[in-house]
Structure 1
Amino acid sequence: MPFIVSHGRKIYYERHGQGPALLFCHGAGSNAATWWQQLPVFAREFSCLAMDLRCFGRSVAPLDEFEFALFVDDALAVLDAEHVERAVVIGQSLGGMVGVRLALQHAPRLSAFVACDTSLTIDHPALLDAMAWRVTRVQALSVEQRSLGRWFIEQHPDRAALYAQINHFNPSAHTYDSDAWGAAVTGLMAPRNLLPLAALAGIDCPTLFVVGSEDPLVPIEAMQAFAQQVPGSELRVVEGAGHSAYFEKPVEFNENVLAFLRRHLLR
């Protein structure tokens, strides 16, 4: 699978299928491999690009490059390398934070936006409370405990272990200092990065919000507030899922997202 060079770093991505372009952007607990339950399904109808964000997986970079401006430029570089003028960005957690910046700053490049279990770095009380909880608990919990619902870990220990193994391919698991990594992740919601809720009204493409009913980091009420700001947007709640609905409930997640894409891209 190919690499492109963006701001002096090799950025990994892979491509599957043919059709309208989708760009999958993962969260802070994973990398491109995490979409294994989506790519074979979506590739039947779409051209699927899945990238390792900078500082994750095979996109190796120092932690001082863990910043939104570079994430956004890297995503655009992947689209440019594949000669994709417009794509649907499907972003989970951190990937959604990257996606909202693409939607607001590079609107002509997006045909639609799917925001999954993501705070979007919006200045919202419920999200800031959840982030404060994360900061106090992050060192005490494993990556799967932070990212997956408790019921999923108990009922699907094999898939929970696979999630953890995917994360172990990230430099955060073996290269970065744990305190520095924790500071980088929690810094995503630092005041300098926060966007006002009203900014979402500037999203000018079809938008779908997806959230797990048991997500401890992104409460449903926050996603509802997001959807109210984006004209014509849709909200789907995946019952029983935690912070990683795409991984925990892939059938329900895929059905919801595919239905949305078919309505807006294949009609």
Structure 2
Amino acid sequence: MSIASSDGVSIYYERHGAGPAIVLVHGSGGHHAAWWQQVAALRSRHTVITVDLRGFGKSDSSMPEFDGQDFPGDILAVLDQEDITGALLVGQSIGAVAALRAGLSRPDRVSGVALAHSLGGIADPVLADLVAADRAEAVKLPVLDRLLSKAFQRNEPAKTFLFQQMGTFNVAKMADLRNLSTGGPTIEEVVASGLDITFLGGENDAVLSAATVRKAHELVKGSRLVLVPGAPHSMYWERPDLFNAAVTSIREAIA
């Protein structure tokens, strides 16, 4: 339980376990505690770091407005303070955008980035059209139905309630983060970086379709693709067994 300074902004993070580093970067409704099912499973073999981006969880939330462009620096401040090298950054949803930019800017700290249920803000017209089409379908659903399956909501009411409560600890909201992907990296820049890139998705993701993820993998030459059958957008929460197994295999595959 520590604090790093990101250009004067206090960033809360936690470090657990020992071994090759995995850094978990939450999405718009999460924070460090959202990863409880990952930390417990992964810390016996890995150094697991959870980060609260500014405006989330226990990090500084006092600023009058939030700029998603600052998030990569929050991640890097933690890596620098802990002197982490060779890290795998695992970004969930919007957290993947910050994770990818952090990795591209500091390859001395980061070996790979897993883009979980996200394309990481990669700037490409073909992918942009596909993402927009997916979003147009997703907004037809209630927010919770975009994130968790109906079966999980019905069978796991306590975990569904806890999932909803997670976001109440955050000050920053999606409406504050509209410029998050502005000026995103091109496919060419991502490929040229030499970063180990994995697209980690779910076949039943209602926010980002499996077809869109497959296309991104096809365009980003040399990337990995892990599409989990039956998994929804919030696989880390609903099917932690599958998510944790995928993250472990990705970590082991990175040199």
TM class, shorter-chain normalised? 0.7 to 0.9
The answer to whether 1:209 aligns with 2:210 is no
Contact 2:89 2:114 in 1 (8 A): yes
Residue 95 to residue 3, structure 1, CA distance change in 2 (3 Å): same
Structure 2 residue 127 is matched with structure 1 residue 127: no
- Determine the C-alpha separation between the residues in 1 that align with 2:119 and 2:65: 22
For 1:110 and 1:260, how far apart are their aligned partners in 2? 14
Is the 8 Å Cα contact of residues 201 and 229 (structure 1) preserved in structure 2?
no
> How much has 1:195 moved relative to structure 2?
4.1
* Equivalent pairs, count: 250
The 3 A distance-change label for structure 1 pair 115 and 56 is same
Question: What's the CA shift string for 1:12-50, capped at 9, x where partnerless?
Answer: 100100112221101111111111111111111111110
Distance change (3 Å), C-alpha of 1:44 and 1:83: same
Q: 2 CA distance for matches of 1:132 and 1:63?
A: 30
Question: Under a length normalisation based on structure 1, what TM-score does the superposition of the two structures give?
Answer: 0.84
Q: CA deviation at 1:198?
A: 4.0
The whole-number CA distance in structure 2 between the counterparts of 1:204 and 1:91 is 18
1:188 corresponds in structure 2 to 180
Structure 2 Cα separation of the partners of residues 198 and 251 of structure 1? 34
**One-letter identity of the residue aligned with 1:43:** R
Shift of 1:185: 3.8
1:253 aligned onto 2:243: yes
Q: Which residue of 1 aligns with 2:80?
A: 80
Cα distance in 1 between the residues matched to 2:151 and 2:191? 35
Q: Percent identity between the aligned chains?
A: 30
Instruction: Please tell me whether the aligned partners of residues 146 and 205 of structure 2 are also in contact (alpha carbons under 8 angstroms).
Output: no
Whole-Å separation in 2 of the counterparts to 1:145 and 1:40? 27
Residues 197 and 264 of structure 1, relative CA distance in 2, 3 Å threshold: closer
Contact 2:198 2:225 in 1 (8 A): yes
C-alpha separation in 2, matches of 1:63 and 1:150: 37
- Structure 2 unpaired stretches of 5+: none
Deviation for aligned residue 1:184:
2.4
- Equivalent residue, structure 1, for 2:67: 66
C-alpha displacement of 1:182: 4.3
Matching of residue 262 in structure 1 with residue 241 in structure 2: no
The CA deviation string for residues 194-217 of structure 1, in whole angstroms up to 9 with x for no partner, is 444444323413232210111122
Moved more, 48-57 or 111-120: 111-120
Moved more, 96-105 or 22-31: 96-105
Q: Could you list the runs of 4 or more consecutive aligned residues of structure 1 that deviate by over 4 angstroms after TM superposition?
A: none
Q: Secondary structure at the match of 2:90?
A: strand
Checking the alignment, whether the CA contact within 8 Å between 1:21 and 1:87 is kept in structure 2 is: yes
Output the aligned Cα RMSD: 2.2
Question: Contact 2:112–2:196 at 8 Å: present in 1 too?
Answer: yes
Cα–Cα, structure 1 residues 254 and 197, in superposed 2: closer, same or farther, change >3 Å? same
* Structure 1 unaligned blocks of 5 or more: 173-180
Does residue 219 of the first structure (1) align with residue 223 of the second (2)?
no
Deviations 1:147-192 (CA, angstroms, capped at 9, x unpaired) = 22233222222211111122221124xxxxxxxx443244435xx3
Indicate conservation of the 8 Å contact 2:34/2:166, yes or no.
yes
Cα separation, 2, equivalents of 1:115 and 1:83: 23
Asked if 1:54 is matched to 2:54, the reply is yes
Q: Distance in 1 between matches of 2:90 and 2:200?
A: 10
Match of 2:190 in 1: 200
SS in 2 for 1:171: coil
Aligned to 1:176: none
- Following the alignment from structure 1 to structure 2, what is the Cα–Cα distance between the partners of residues 63 and 83? 31
> Which protein has the bigger helix share?
1
Q: What letter is aligned with 2:5?
A: V
Give distance in 2, aligned partners of 1:99 and 1:80. Answer: 15
For 1:57 and 1:168, the matched residues in 2 are separated by 9
User: Does 2:228 correspond to 1:243?
Assistant: no
**1:64 partner SS:** coil
Q: Is the 8 A contact 1:24 1:89 kept in 2?
A: yes
Tell me the secondary structure at the aligned position of residue 37 of structure 2.
coil
Counterpart CA distance in 1 for 2:196 and 2:174 is 33
Within the alignment, does 1:234 sit opposite 2:235 as a pair?
no
